[in-house]
Structure 1
């Protein structure tokens, strides 16, 4: 499975939004600048995330974006599915009850594909946005170097 820039940049943008929108909405411009993402591309990503119910836009002079839910209630899977669609790297008609796979009854490889698909979905569904915000704060910067003394490890 290979994620596109939609998934990678969108997740970075949402982590940024979660970090900076606690007090007020965050502008596309500020997220784009901090994350080095094109504003136009970021607008497209935010539109998809808004449609999925993960962010809300606030109009006006002090407008911008905020999370539509608490960061602890948004999984990486939610974000990636909103931007990438289905995350399963293997489509197998034998796994679909209505699939038209002629060899489904005697095919054992479908169990391999199911385990791979289930493993990916389980992994991204068990990582929460608030955990990534905490990890991001852990990686503080001092003199352009990462300060690992802020980390728990």
Structure 2
């Protein structure tokens, strides 16, 4: 299966947003820090996710992003599709021109696999992932690490000002 970092990062960022926006909008800077994803890359992804109607921006102090609909209504296949990523196991990109402008011997096999992967991902919502114990544990660990990093920076800054 050909799933690039674009699709993986979009799913990761959306899961982070779903987890953290339960109480308030979330900034892309916060997501970037927690998930080690470039802020400029996240901005590009969220422009696409916003156009797809999955997220909405909240302006002003305390602003950021939030899901535009319930996390149970957003599935993983739709997130991947929203950032123009395809779920494709074929060598030809599904165009049936894998061998001398014709389908190769195993074209239907790889097309079937791509469809099964897409179907599987369409059955998993952000809410399904949020309900998983290990997902919550990882999110809590990332929050602690992020808070610890901020605390260390504040102490260093305080020492420099003294």
TM-score over 0.5 (shorter chain): yes
Give per-residue Cα distances to partners, 1:4-54, cap 9 Å, x unaligned: 111111111111100111121111111111111111111111111111111
What is the TM-score normalised by the length of structure 1?
0.76
Gaps of 5+ in 2: 146-162
Distance in 2 (CA, whole Å) between partners of 1:103 and 1:28 is 44
| 1:28-67 alignment, distance < 5 Å | 28-67=28-67
Give the CA RMSD over aligned residues. Answer: 2.5
Q: In the alignment, which residue of structure 1 is the partner of 2:122?
A: 125
SS at match of 1:9: helix
SS of 1:2 mapped into structure 2: coil
User: Is contact 2:88–2:111 with CA below 8 Å preserved after alignment?
Assistant: no
Distance (whole Å) between structure 2 residues aligned to residue 87 and residue 17 of structure 1: 23
Gaps of 5+ in 1: 95-100, 145-153
User: Match for residue 113 of structure 1?
Assistant: 110
1:88–1:117 contact (8 Å) kept in structure 2: yes
Q: Do the aligned residues in 1 keep the contact of 2:72 with 2:126 (CA within 8 Å)?
A: yes
* TM-score, normalised by the number of residues in structure 2: 0.72
* Greater helix content: 2
Q: Distance in 2 between matches of 1:62 and 1:119?
A: 41
Inter-partner Cα distance in structure 2 for 1:103 and 1:43: 39
Which residue in the other structure is 1:79 paired with? 79
SS of match in other structure, 1:25: coil
Q: 2: CA distance between counterparts of 1:18 and 1:8?
A: 15
